């Protein structure tokens, strides 16, 4: 059974709420009990795990809390290395891009906005080239 766009958006909103609760519950490294079951959490993440598009959950301090396989493919880092890093750690200079300005506005105003997929793809294409060049110099 395929879900409607409205159903998926509702599940995304529910996931945002769960993530807000999780982030608040783990402040200062202290974990507090959750009322949500592990099964509910797994259901939400499974939706994102199986998306063809990149899906990432970023904390208020720009740290990666969750990434799906499509994001891993773009970043060329393992999930273990990526989680916990900030976007600025992974992509130095990203904070000076128009794309990041849009992300910052969404984070600060708690709104959603679309970013032209061509801009996002262009950013990652340039980033891949930079990583390839750095890799060649590392080998020498």
Q: What is the mean pLDDT of each run of 10 residues along the chain (140 residues)?
A: 69 75 59 61 80 86 90 84 90 88 91 78 71 59
56 and 118 assigned to the same domain? yes
Domain interval for residue 70: 52-140
Note the pLDDT of residue 23: 66
CATH of the domain at 73: 3.30.450
70 and 127 assigned to the same domain? yes
Place of tokens 């393992």: 78
Are 54 and 76 in contact, with CB atoms under 8 Å apart?
Answer: no
Note the pLDDT of residue 35: 55
Note the pLDDT of residue 140: 44
41 and 61 assigned to the same domain? no
Q: How many domains does the chain have?
A: 2
Q: Where are the beta strands (DSSP E) in the chain?
A: 56-58, 64-67
* Residue 114 DSSP class: -
81 and 140 assigned to the same domain? yes
Quote the pTM value. Answer: 0.60
């Amino acid at each position: 059974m395929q879900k409607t766009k409205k159903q998926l958006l509702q599940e995304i909103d529910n996931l945002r709420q769960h993530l807000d609760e999780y982030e608040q519950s783990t402040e200062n490294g202290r974990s507090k009990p959750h009322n949500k079951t592990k099964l509910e959490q797994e259901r939400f993440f499974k939706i994102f795990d199986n998306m063809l598009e990149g899906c990432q959950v970023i904390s208020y301090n720009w740290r990666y809390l969750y990434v799906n396989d499509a994001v891993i493919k773009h970043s060329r880092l393992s999930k273990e290395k990526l989680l916990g890093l900030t976007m600025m750690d992974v992509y130095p200079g990203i904070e000076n891009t128009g794309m990041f300005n849009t992300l910052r506005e969404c984070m600060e105003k708690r709104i959603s906005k679309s970013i032209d997929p061509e801009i996002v793809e262009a950013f990652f294409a340039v980033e891949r080239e930079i990583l390839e060049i750095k890799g060649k110099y590392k080998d020498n």
